[in-house]
Chains A and B, each alone.
Chain A
Amino acid sequence: MDRRTTFDGWLLPVLLVLPQLLLTGFFFYWPAGEAVWSSLTTQDAFGTGVVFVGLDNFSDLFGDPLYRQSALLTVGFCLAVAGLAMGLALALAVFADREIRGKGTYRTLLIWPYAIAPAMSAVLFLFILDPRVGLLGRWLNRHGVDWDYHLNGWQALTMVVLASAWKQVSYNFIFFLAGLQSIPRAVTEAARMDGAKGWHRFRTMTFPLLAPTTFFLLVVNVVYAAFDTFGTINALTHGGPGKDTETLVLKVFRDGVVNQDIGSSSAQSVILMLGVIAITAVQFRFMGKKVTE
């Protein structure tokens, strides 16, 4: 990862890196440190009485079947969202990469939803999928499908996956399209000459060449699904019915914000932070290697 040629001196670079270090210190390490400390305590909502309890909050969590269930749900949810958002984006990108008329227009129309706020996508989906107010929801119920995500856990899960994935397709589309365009035409032409048919050519030639992009997007999408979907899920289902759509981040919120159980909520934050750091480290190893190659 290191360059061969560099500039001399150390005062200037230290000054250059300082603003970011200070900001990171004040707004990341300080709060994170407080979160770690809180995770080792039991305290009332107002923080006036704080008792050190060691790792009790963590052992309570790992002993709680509801927490394990939520963790499992989160993994499934992340994979579903990442799979769907990336699958759709890849399909769209493959077709948008073909030589067809109006492809520029198509691309533009597929990129703009990137700008929509997560909280807003929830509202949009409500108007489509609500069993009574939504366009599609009403249609389903009129046609004999018992669509009611307030009571049906799988339907609720399907809906939050759809709403979360929808928002992310544009982002993935941009990367896949760029990935496809960076594959030299000569390579695809050669494959075509060899008589490789569409699907086969895609499977054996294109997809392997897209592997770095795919891996990068997988990480980004999993982190997106794990964290940024909070607004969407909270607005659509509050984690229900039952606990069928309660992901880990929702639980952090519910325990910390609604329930004012600062100790347990902080412990959950700490676990999540460690998880994200682990994912990032894996990704970085991969990216780092790629750059030095």
Chain B
Amino acid sequence: MKRRTLMAAATVLPFAQARAAEKTKIVWWHAMTAALGEQVNRIADEFNKSQDAIEIQAVFKGGYADTMNAAIAAFRAGQAPHLVQVFEVGTGTMINAPGKVVKQVWELSKETGVVLEPKNYIGAVRGYYSLPDGRMASMPFNSSTAVMWYSKDAFKKAGLDPEKAPTTWQEVVKAAQAIKAKDAAEIPMTSSWVSWIQMEQYGALHNLPFATKENGFAGLDAELSFNSKAHVKHIDRLLAMAKDGTFKYSGRDNAPDQLLVSGKAGIHFNSSGMRGDMVKSAKFEWGEALLPFDPEVAKAPLNSIIGGASLWTMTAPGRTPAEYKAVAQFLQFIGKAENDAYWHQHTGYVPVTLGGFELSQKQGFYEKNVGADLPVRQLSRGTVTPSSKGLRLGRLVEIRNIVYEELEKAFQGGQTGQQALDTAVARGNKVLREFQKSIKA
């Protein structure tokens, strides 16, 4: 305890100096590189120019995992940033953060009197970052969803209609076979983020629970349930495709992206955020389509779920109400329709507010960029069910890694689809219990 006081003293000093200066300084840690990093800096600049009481400093802290890790380490040392961008899989850890680690959005809004209205945000986005009763915990920022990308050139070569993307998995398999038969692409089909897209998104679309307790939203004692018959059926399909050479597992996370951009893949699954890259570097005709579904599992597909990150307000010893108010004002600023629309149109992420979406429509963005509204449409289709509103599981990153590991073993031929998912569920449940134990501590 003594050490904590010491640390508190060490942190209060610099802030006392900041207060003496005119502007309230706000530090925002983010994980956006390259062009996205530029956009983040632009937002910060715009905000700083829009008023003269607050100065926000956007700081890059490495990849998503690095950023979250740095924020946690900083909190432990009493030096947390005001705002931190946390990827969607970190939500379980942040929302379950004990006591006064974070100030959830509803709390921040209530304390500072700055209105941050949940209704302004798109349902599928808001839901991922809200408490079960609808109060928002973190502020949606960069959101994407998964879509299917395909090479129109490969489709033409394979004798398929390039303007008619397959909508069911049965059609996808046939298309991949046609591509292989005509040698229209080196790799008929591949997928990035296999756990997110082929397990989590697939489950949402078909109303299959990934875990009990409403995918974890309703309690820390949730157990994984992605080894159901319907899940196994999909994995077996991918395994069969891998065997006859129509699907190629090409690495974790977004490592396989290169295959599509370079024109080597016929069909690819990845985040909708890939659009910018495609526009810039794909030297062939390509298409973006809704995620396919399996009519034998569900009559019609539900909404897909989001990926990306949200902004969390963190606490630190000696932080003043004025600083929290400044944070709230900044959050309000980025949620304005014009700012959200600008972000959406310049990054490939979906708009997170209804206002941003409508403004983009009004500005004619989707006429100039045909198909750019497809992710939003996919996100807002149908009625959200407990299985399609996202995941709220602690240590989800680790669970995804476990899914990768077990699927990799299956793709190597070391085990069947059922064995892979059974083992992944068993190992994942152990992780969930550890997490539960640590929260109760």
A residues engaging B (CB < 8 A)? 41-51, 132-133, 148, 150-153, 238, 240-243, 254, 257-261, 263-264
Instruction: Decide if B98 touches A259 in the complex (CB within 8 Å).
Output: no
Instruction: Decide if A150 touches B412 in the complex (CB within 8 Å).
Output: no
Q: How many residue pairs between the two chains, A and B, have CB atoms under 8 Å in the bound complex?
A: 93
Instruction: Decide if A259 touches B397 in the complex (CB within 8 Å).
Output: yes
Instruction: Decide if A241 touches B408 in the complex (CB within 8 Å).
Output: yes
Instruction: Decide if A240 touches B404 in the complex (CB within 8 Å).
Output: yes
Known: A42-B441, A150-B255. 20 other contacts (CB 8 A): A43-B441, A44-B98, A46-B72, A49-B98, A49-B438, A49-B439, A132-B259, A133-B258, A133-B262, A148-B250, A151-B412, A240-B405, A241-B408, A241-B411, A242-B408, A243-B405, A258-B398, A259-B431, A260-B395, A263-B438
Instruction: Decide if B258 touches A261 in the complex (CB within 8 Å).
Output: no
B residues engaging A (CB < 8 A)? 65, 69, 72, 75-76, 93, 96-99, 101, 249-252, 255, 258-259, 262, 264, 395, 397-398, 401, 404-406, 408-409, 411-412, 414, 431, 434, 437-441
Interface centre among A43, A148, A150 (most CB of B within 10 A): A150
Instruction: Decide if A242 touches B405 in the complex (CB within 8 Å).
Output: yes
Q: Smallest Cβ distance from B79 to chain A, in angstroms?
A: 13
For B252, the chain A residues whose CB sits under 8 A away are 150, 238, 240
Instruction: Decide if B69 touches A257 in the complex (CB within 8 Å).
Output: yes
When chains A and B are docked, how far (Å) is the Cα of A43 from the Cα of B258?
A: 40
- A/B interface sample: 8 pairs, CB < 8 A: A44-B98, A48-B101, A49-B98, A132-B258, A150-B249, A238-B252, A258-B69, A261-B395
Instruction: Decide if A152 touches B412 in the complex (CB within 8 Å).
Output: yes
Instruction: Decide if B401 touches A254 in the complex (CB within 8 Å).
Output: yes
For B434, the chain A residues whose CB sits under 8 A away are 261, 264
For B438, the chain A residues whose CB sits under 8 A away are 42-45, 49, 261, 263
Partner of A151, one of B99, B259, B408, B440: B408
Partner of A259, one of B101, B250, B255, B395: B395
Partner of A42, one of B409, B412, B437: B437
Instruction: Decide if A258 touches B412 in the complex (CB within 8 Å).
Output: no
Instruction: Decide if A153 touches B439 in the complex (CB within 8 Å).
Output: no
Secondary structure dominating the interface of B: helix
Q: Smallest Cβ distance from B282 to chain A, in angstroms?
A: 15
Instruction: Decide if B258 touches A49 in the complex (CB within 8 Å).
Output: no
Instruction: Decide if A242 touches B72 in the complex (CB within 8 Å).
Output: no
When chains A and B are docked, how far (Å) is the Cα of A259 from the Cα of B395?
A: 6
For A264, the chain B residues whose CB sits under 8 A away are 434
Q: Which residue of A lies closest to B187 (CB)?
A: A132
For A148, the chain B residues whose CB sits under 8 A away are 250
Q: Smallest Cβ distance from A204 to chain B, in angstroms?
A: 46
Instruction: Decide if B255 touches A44 in the complex (CB within 8 Å).
Output: no
Partner of B398, one of A43, A240, A254: A254
Q: Smallest Cβ distance from A91 to chain B, in angstroms?
A: 34
When chains A and B are docked, how far (Å) is the Cα of A130 from the Cα of B439?
A: 41
Q: Smallest Cβ distance from A35 to chain B, in angstroms?
A: 13
For B409, the chain A residues whose CB sits under 8 A away are 241-242
When chains A and B are docked, how far (Å) is the Cα of A170 from the Cα of B72?
A: 39
When chains A and B are docked, how far (Å) is the Cα of A241 from the Cα of B250?
A: 10
Q: Smallest Cβ distance from B327 to chain A, in angstroms?
A: 19
Interface centre among B259, B398, B408, B439 (most CB of A within 10 A): B408
Partner of B65, one of A42, A243, A257: A257
Q: Which residue of B lies closest to A244 (CB)?
A: B408
Q: Which residue of A lies closest to B69 (CB)?
A: A257
Q: Smallest Cβ distance from A226 to chain B, in angstroms?
A: 22
Q: Smallest Cβ distance from B300 to chain A, in angstroms?
A: 34
Q: Smallest Cβ distance from A194 to chain B, in angstroms?
A: 55
Partner of A46, one of B101, B264, B395, B411: B101
